[in-house]
Every structure is written in structure tokens, then in C-alpha cells.
């Protein structure tokens, strides 16, 4: 009888959480520099505090603590859940759908989730090996916003993050010319865009990160002043508009990056003129991560990242990329050029047809925001039809110095009369989420109020 000899399996490829020399600057938290060695000690120390489980919701407000907690959870062989919102009901639903879940954060929460662990004010430190995880291990499960239905989960492995990070670096690295950039981000780390550019990038490449999450223009200026040049501001169109309008002076920037909502060319040009730095707009989603970029002030077409291919479909588009396990369908309608660059024509659900004429909600909103004096706004098609069976257009507008007649007069210059808003409501501010997104349900509620 012959013996069966099994060849030893190859050890799993490991990914280091916090790459580079131990003395490398990885974060500036509350004005204090933190090197990689200290970060590794924090990760090991926090990992020793964590309970047993399979899934953890990371609710940390402080970006540095979010990163430490993310890596500590991974070091324990668990998976981080990133619900589309930190609202108690949304967090509870995500935890209920995933076995053996718990939550952690860095603040006292009035309606804390079940099994909530608050990190200590002073993070513990522990000796040990450099934190590493298998590259095929799940890092996070992100969720779509749920604006068009039930939030859908999208798992991301450390390997896919590593591949997408290399693509992002190739798209942006020319901006800092071989130096080590410092990133200040206004977008929360729980959002996939914030995850990619303010969490994964400092973890898997030699980039330093500001540990906070500045919100107001003065806070952004202060955060930028505390980090070394070259400085990269990762933000959203809403924050970019606030910075342009505020009159605040920012330290020299190497670039600004924008995502989460469409950025108008007018705002991109105003930001570049105001802060003497290019604005790079990134295109992505929870499903795909970032897959294209453009300098919106001068480009109308998007350039796919390396390995990415966009394929038009009758009801949207298909995205193929090295960091995606399979092609991902999107609802965005793309017009692709022979060289691979593309333009976004809107979504099928956003296309309007009234009296035999066509338009898109996105283009109408862009024209509204381009009106001088309009600080924020959105156009929407109403749910209910009028007496002749047509679902008309309405608008929410933030424009303290304008009235309805001025808005309509400006829109008539480029909008067919059938697409002019029949109802305009003026507000002091729009109810945008912390990423700048504006849920359609909230818009309709305000119009009906």
C-alpha cells in the first residue's frame, strides 16, 4: 500500500498594516506626530481589548482612532462593518444582518448599539510583531446608501484595497513629485471614498494623515496648518463650496480631491483660482471603489484608472477592473470614447421626458447651481402628476439674495420651459448627509412641507 504524500500548502501572503520605516510619520493626531512604530503599538494594544466576535461596526469619529480600531479588528480576524449611516436604527439593522456583531467607538453615545465598546482616552500600547493580515481576508463590508432601496453589502478584501490603492497612487502621485504627502480629509472614514484616500492610503503606502475630521472652513485651515507639505485636501463639493465662499486663507496645497457628488466645472475653476492648486475629481462607488478621475476645471471626460475598462450597457454601464472580482454594473449611462475615456450622461432613473422633450435631473441641477448667488440647490421630479398627467419639476434652493423670479429668469437662459421648476422652496441650508449627499426622500418631504 503506497502512502499519499500531501505537499505542504504555501503560506498565505500577508499584508502589513502600516508600511514603511518604523520612524515614518503616519499621522498627526491633535497636533502630535505619530510614527509607524507607535501606531503598531496602538494597534496591538487595542486588539488586546477587543471582545470575541465576527463583525464590528467602527463608529470612531477621530480618523486616527478609526484606523487603529480597523486594524485591531483585522488583527483579531474579524471584519469591520461600514453601515451607510451612523443612525442608531441603521447600525442596528446592519448588526442584526451579520452574525456575532458588536460595535466600538471613541465617544459616549446616547443610544449606543448593543455590545458597544468605547475606546479609552489614552490608547493602550503593546509590544509584539508588526501587524499583518492575510491578503485574501475580508477587511470591510461596505453598504450602498440605500437611496434607491435596501442598502446592499459589498465586501472588500485587503488584496482588493491594495490593488485599488496602487491605482489611486498612480493617478495622484505626480501631484507631490516623489515627496511624502500629508492628507487632510473632511469626508468621514466610514465612507468608501474616505476609506480609500484617508485610511487605506496611509496604511498601505507612505502617506501621512491628519487624525481629525475638520468640518468648518476655519477647522480645515487649522488642520492643514498642522501637517507638513505637500498637503492634499480630500473633500466634497459641499465643503469645497463652503471653503471658496468663506474667505478663509489655506496653507499652500499640492491639490484638492473631490468626490461623493458631481462637481460643477464652475466650482472647480473657482476653487483652483482661490487656492492656487488643481482640483482632481474622483469617480467611484461603494460597489467599485474609485475607478476614474479628471481635472474638472479643464476636462469634461473621465480617464479610467489603470486596468479599468468601462463598457456601455442599455440601462447603465459595466466596470471591469483588476481590483474587482467580477465586472460591476452601474446605473450611470456612459458615453465611451475609442481611447477609453468617457462622459457621464446621467442615470436612466434621472432621465426626464416631458412633452416629447428630454433632459436629466443632473444637468438641471448643474444649471441651477451655476446661477450667481445660488449657494446650494437641487432639482427633482415630483412623485405626483399634475392635472394633465405630467410629473413636474421642483427645486430646493439656498440663495439668500435671490427670489423665485430671479431663479426662473436665469434658468430660462438654458432650460426648456417644460423643465422649469413649478415649485421652488428657499431654505437656509439643504439637509445633506455628512458626505454631502442629499437623499431624495428628504428633498420630497421638504417640498411637501
Domains and CATH numbers, the chain: 15-345 (3.40.50.12780), 355-448 (3.30.300.30)
The span from the CA of 105 to the CA of 115, in Å, is 11
pLDDT for 146: 52
In angstroms and rounded to an integer, the radius of gyration of the C-alpha atoms of the chain is 23
pLDDT for 126: 97
The span from the CA of 416 to the CA of 212, in Å, is 45
CB–CB of 58/80 below 8 Å?
Answer: yes
pLDDT for 356: 66
pLDDT for 148: 47
pLDDT for 387: 64
The span from the CA of 343 to the CA of 320, in Å, is 17
> Vertex 44, ends 201 and 70: CA angle to 5°?
40
> CB-based burial of residue 252 (10 Å sphere; 0-12 exposed, 13-18 middle, 19+ buried)?
exposed
| The model's pTM | 0.84
3-state secondary structure labels for all residues of the chain: CCCCCCCCCCCCCEEECCCCCCCCEEEEECCEEEEHHHHHHHHHHHHCCCCCCCEEEECCCCHHHHHHHHHHHHHCCCEEEECCCCCHHHHHHHHHCCCCEEEEECCCCCCCCCCEEECCCCCCCCCCCCCEEECCCEEEEEECCCCCCCCCEEEEEHHHHHHHHHHHHHHHHHHCCCCCCEEEECCCCCCHHHHHHHHHHHHHCCCEEECCCCCCHHHHHHHHHCCCCCEEEEECHHHHHHHHHHCCCCCCCCEEEECCCCCCHHHHHHHHHHHCCCEEEEEEECCCEEEEEEECCCCCCEEECCCCEEEEECCEEEEECCCCCCCEEECEEEEECCCCCEEEEEEHHHEEEECCEEEEHHHHHHHHHCCCCCCEEEEEECCCCCCCCCCCEEEEEECCCCCHHHHHHHHCCCCCHHHCCCEEEECCCCCCCCCCCCCHHHHHHHHHC
Of 200, 178, 176, the closest CA to residue 18 belongs to 200
The span from the CA of 139 to the CA of 156, in Å, is 6
The span from the CA of 393 to the CA of 380, in Å, is 6
* pLDDT < 50 positions in the chain: 1-2, 147-148
Q: Give me the phi and psi of 268, to 5 degrees please.
A: -60, -45
pLDDT for 250: 97
Distances 387 to 31, 380, 381, 382, 392 between C-alpha atoms, Å: 61, 19, 15, 13, 11
> CB-based burial of residue 147 (10 Å sphere; 0-12 exposed, 13-18 middle, 19+ buried)?
middle
The neighbouring-strand residues paired with 154 are 142
Cβ–Cβ contacts within 10 Å for residue 56, how many? 28
Amino acid at each position: 500500500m503506497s502512502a499519499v504524500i500531501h505537499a505542504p500548502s504555501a503560506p498565505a501572503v500577508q499584508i502589513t498594516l502600516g508600511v514603511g520605516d518604523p520612524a515614518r510619520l503616519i499621522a498627526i493626531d491633535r497636533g502630535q506626530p505619530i510614527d509607524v512604530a507607535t501606531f503598531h503599538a496602538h494597534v496591538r494594544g487595542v486588539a488586546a481589548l477587543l471582545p470575541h466576535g465576527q463583525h464590528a461596526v467602527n463608529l470612531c469619529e477621530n480618523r486616527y482612532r478609526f484606523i487603529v480600531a480597523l486594524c485591531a479588528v483585522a488583527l483579531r480576524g474579524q471584519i469591520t462593518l461600514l453601515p451607510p449611516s451612523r443612525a442608531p436604527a441603521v447600525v442596528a439593522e446592519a448588526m442584526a444582518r451579520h452574525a456575532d456583531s458588536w460595535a466600538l467607538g471613541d465617544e459616549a453615545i446616547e443610544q449606543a448599539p448593543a455590545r458597544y465598546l468605547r475606546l479609552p482616552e489614552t490608547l493602550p500600547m503593546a509590544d509584539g510583531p508588526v501587524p499583518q493580515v492575510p491578503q485574501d481576508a475580508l477587511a470591510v463590508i461596505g453598504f450602498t446608501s440605500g437611496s434607491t432601496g435596501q442598502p446592499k453589502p459589498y465586501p472588500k478584501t485587503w488584496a482588493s484595497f491594495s490593488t485599488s490603492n496602487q491605482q489611486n497612487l498612480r493617478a495622484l502621485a505626480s501631484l507631490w513629485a516623489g515627496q511624502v504627502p500629508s492628507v487632510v480629509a473632511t469626508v468621514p472614514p466610514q465612507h468608501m471614498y474616505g476609506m480609500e484616500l484617508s485610511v487605506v492610503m496611509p496604511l498601505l503606502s507612505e502617506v501621512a494623515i491628519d487624525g481629525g475630521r475638520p468640518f468648518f472652513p476655519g477647522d480645515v485651515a487649522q488642520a492643514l496648518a498642522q501637517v507638513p507639505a505637500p498637503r492634499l485636501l480630500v473633500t466634497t463639493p459641499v465643503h469645497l463650496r463652503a471653503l471658496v465662499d468663506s474667505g478663509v486663507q489655506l496653507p499652500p496645497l499640492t491639490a484638492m480631491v473631490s468626490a461623493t457628488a458631481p462637481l460643477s466645472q464652475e466650482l472647480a475653476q473657482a476653487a483652483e483660482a482661490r487656492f492656487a492648486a488643481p482640483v482632481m475629481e474622483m469617480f467611484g462607488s461603494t460597489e467599485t471603489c474609485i475607478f476614474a478621475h479628471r481635472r474638472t476645471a479643464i476636462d469634461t471626460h473621465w480617464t479610467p484608472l489603470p486596468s479599468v475598462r468601462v463598457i456601455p450597457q442599455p440601462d447603465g454601464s459595466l466596470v471591469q477592473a483588476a481590483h474587482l472580482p467580477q465586472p460591476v454594473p452601474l446605473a450611470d449611462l456612459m458615453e465611451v470614447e475609442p481611447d477609453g475615456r468617457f462622459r457621464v450622461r446621467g442615470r436612466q432613473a434621472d432621465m426626464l421626458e416631458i412633452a416629447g422633450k428630454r433632459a436629466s435631473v443632473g444637468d438641471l441641477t448643474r444649471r441651477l447651481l451655476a446661477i450667481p448667488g445660488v449657494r446650494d440647490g437641487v432639482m427633482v421630479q415630483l412623485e405626483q402628476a399634475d392635472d394633465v398627467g405630467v410629473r413636474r419639476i421642483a427645486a430646493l434652493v439656498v440663495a439668500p439674495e435671490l427670489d423665485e423670479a430671479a431663479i426662473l429668469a436665469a434658468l430660462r437662459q438654458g432650460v426648456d420651459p417644460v423643465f422649469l421648476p413649478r415649485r421652488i422652496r428657499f431654505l437656509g441650508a439643504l439637509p445633506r448627509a455628512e458626505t454631502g449627499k442629499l437623499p431624495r426622500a428628504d428633498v420630497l418631504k421638504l417640498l411637501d412641507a
